[in-house]
Amino acid sequence: MMKKSLENDLVLQYLVRPASSVSNHSKAVILLHGVGSNEQDLFQLASHFPDDFTVISPRGPVVLGDGRFAWYEVDFSTGKPSINAGQEAKSRQDIEQFISQVKEKYNLSEVYLGGFSQGAIMSFSIGLTHPELVTGILAFSGRILQEIRPQVQRNAALQQLKVLISHGTQDNTLPVHYAREAKEYLQEAGVQLTYHEQAMGHQISGEAIAKVISWLQV
């Protein structure tokens, strides 16, 4: 596949695979990479998504090194992740603006927001605090930040939100207890939850992708 160049016309730089089949009901999935990665990482999954989906992968605004980006810096030195709250809040604001811009540019009626690790964390934060912005959340190997929970309003829009969680039982980076805690929290919040655990580490498996594709087409 020819390497695509970054688009620079919106608040975040991004890669895009436009939908190849046109319908009156335009859908997209926005994929957010993990810490220390970049927009190319999850964009490699674009070919797995249905032809009627536009697939978009933005670059995190926090520069960690050459080709390495994040949505916020995180410190694991205490054994528990400690986040840079200012960067997280700014990135959340940027992604919310990006979703609105993408909806307008591509004339979208449905947007699914998903990601891996820190990208999944950002997807949870935005979907739960602004459920009216997205149709659903795809969370691969993530967690729900304690910091955003006071902002979550348990309203009708939240109950319409579709959420898919996929997490490895052998994940040593963000252990599976984070997914199980998220499951309990989301069940209490009343979202439309689909939950999968798999015997894998901190990764996205082919089986996990297949489950996502089936979920998107329901």
Q: Is 150 left (phi over 0), alpha (psi -120 to 50) or beta?
A: alpha
Q: Is the pLDDT of residue 1 over 60?
A: no
pLDDT tens sequence across 17-68: 999 877 667 999 999 999 999 999 999 999 999 999 999 999 999 999 999 9
pLDDT of residue 21: 76
pLDDT tens readout for residues 186-202: 999 999 999 999 999 99
Task: Say how many C-beta atoms besides its own lie within 10 A of residue 62's C-beta.
Answer: 18
pLDDT band at 3 (very low <50, low <70, confident <90, very high): low
pLDDT, average across residues 2-9: 82
Q: Is the pLDDT of residue 2 over 80?
A: no
Amino acid 49: pLDDT: 94
Asked whether the beta carbons of 69 and 60 are under 8 A apart, the reply is yes
Mean pLDDT over the full length of the chain: 94
- At residue 15, the pLDDT reads 98
pLDDT at residue 80, as a whole number: 79
Q: What confidence tier does 98 reach under pLDDT thresholds 50, 70, 90?
A: very high
pLDDT of residue 209: 95
3-state SS, residue 169: coil
What does the angle CA 62 – CA 106 – CA 139 come to, to the nearest 5 degrees? 50
pLDDT of residue 82: 86
Instruction: State the DSSP code for 147.
Output: G
Residue 46 CA to its chain's centroid (Å): 14
Mean per-residue pLDDT, 148-153: 95
Is the model's pLDDT at 146 over the cut of 80? yes
- Tokens representing 175 are 């252990």
Residue (of 51, 58, 41) closest to 18 by Cα position: 51
pLDDT of 24 reads 67
Determine what percent of the chain is predicted with pLDDT higher than 90.
90
